[in-house]
Each structure stands twice: as structure tokens, then as C-alpha cells.
Amino acid sequence: MTHRVAIVGAGPSGFYAADGLLRTNPDLHIDVIDRLPTPHGLIRAGVAPDHQGTKAVARQFDRLLARPDLRFAGNIEIGRDLSWDELGAAYDAVIVATGMVVDKKLGVPGEDLPHVWGSWRFVGWLNGHPDFRQGPDLSKVKSVAVIGNGNVALDVARVLAKSADEMAKSDIVPEAGAAVKNEIVHDHGAREMGRKILQGHRREQHPCERVRD
């Protein structure tokens, strides 16, 4: 007998769950449901646009999507378009893989000012996430401070410091790429700026995580 499973969230967690289930239970039928029209979750919208190697994991998920026993249903937000109860009634099992995206507040005065942007919002804009179509106003920006020195801070600094040529093989949305390069990086010393803008307070036992950073 075929059992039906709903996986809510088409990010890596959802796809790895689907992969694991199908390997051990070949008689399943799985629907992967996402509020966005496209699959891949933050692989598409969170990973920096010039890190195509990291994004390549999406090809593995596309192979799953080609299977007849797995369907992707986009543009459906559970809790808005369908209730969790309705989902539970329609499937034999429901897996929640909805991720966790919130820009962490620092609790310092001024952090809600318009020119202060959390990295999730900023990288979402660079990657064309539909929730962040409107980018920051960069028209008067001549210098940027990136607070933190983890890999996402370095992603942001690197994208700001790279030239348009260096970003040519990325999948940055054209409007964001043009805004970043026109407004900030053409300014003299921009590449120097890329080396200066990181502000962190990690101790030596917490250096940057990856060699390429």
C-alpha cells in the first residue's frame, strides 16, 4: 500500500528528508510543499551568489524532483493557504522542514534605522528572494561596516568588494549587482574598503570557519 507524506519546506532539510524516506520506503508518495514558487530554500536565497559550488547541491535535489514518486508544490503557505490540520488529515505523515530565518537583533540603539540591514535581508535581496524585492538605498553610501566575522559577514564583504567582472559568473540578480557596483564599488579604494569593513569580536578560538573565507 502506498503511503502519502507531505514535507513542508523545500530547502535542504526537506529534500534530505525525502531522500532518506525514499531510500528506505520505496512505496511512498511524497509532496514537497513550499510557500515560494521555487524549490531549494536558502540554497537559492541565502548562500552568497558567487558561491556557485555550494549552490551546486541543488542539482542533487533536482534529481529527486525528477522522480515520479515525488512532487513539488510551490506557492502554498501552510498556515495561510492550508491549515496544518487539513494537511494532517490529507496525508499519512507530515514533516515540518520550514527552516529558521530571523535576523538576530543586537539590542543596540539605532539598529532599526533604515540603513541598517540584517544579512539575511541583504543576501535575500542579492539572490532575488521574493520577500526582499526592494533593496537598500545605496545612492549616498560611500562606506559600509559589516558587523560580525562569520562566513556570512565575509560573504557580504566579499560581494561588496568584488568587481563587476569578478561577479560575472555569479547568479546575483542584475538589479542588485548593478546597484552594489554603481553606488559603492566604483568608489575609489573600494577593494581596499573590502579589507577594512569587517568588525568582529571573535576570540582566537573562533576564527573564520572556512579556508576560502
Under rule CB under 6 A, residue 130 binds ligand FAD: no
Among 21, 33, 95, 179, binds ligand FAD (CB under 6 A): 33
Binders of ligand FAD among residues 136 to 195 (CB under 6 A) are: 151-152
Under rule CB under 6 A, residue 64 binds ligand FAD: no
Nearest-CB residue to ligand FAD?
11
- What is the grid cell recorded at 59? 542539482
Nearer to ligand FAD, 36 or 179 (CB): 36
What DSSP designation does 26 have?
A: T
**Cα–Cα distance measured from residue 158 to residue 154, given in angstroms and rounded to the nearest whole number:** 6
Residue type, 196: K
Window of 12-20, 63-71, 171-179, 190-198 that interacts with ligand FAD by CB under 6 A:
12-20
- Are the CB atoms for 50 and 169 separated by under 8 Å? yes
Question: Who contacts 92 (Cβ-Cβ below 8 Å, separation ≥6)?
Answer: 3, 4, 5
Taking the complex as a whole, how short is the minimal distance between the CB of residue 162 and ligand FAD, in angstroms? 15
**Cα–Cα distance measured from residue 184 to residue 193, given in angstroms and rounded to the nearest whole number:** 10
Taking the complex as a whole, how short is the minimal distance between the CB of residue 73 and ligand FAD, in angstroms? 9
Window of 34-42, 135-143, 161-169, 171-179 that interacts with ligand FAD by CB under 6 A:
34-42
What DSSP designation does 67 have?
A: S
Under rule CB under 6 A, residue 49 binds ligand FAD: no
Count CB-CB contacts under 10 A for residue 83.
Answer: 11
Binders of ligand FAD among residues 106 to 125 (CB under 6 A) are: 119-120, 123
User: What are the backbone dihedrals phi and psi of residue 173, each rounded to the nearest 5 degrees, phi first?
Assistant: -65, 140
Residue indicated by cell numbers 503557505: 77
Give residues in contact with ligand FAD (CB under 6 A).
Answer: 8-14, 33-36, 41-43, 46-48, 51, 54, 77-79, 97-99, 101, 119-120, 123, 151-152
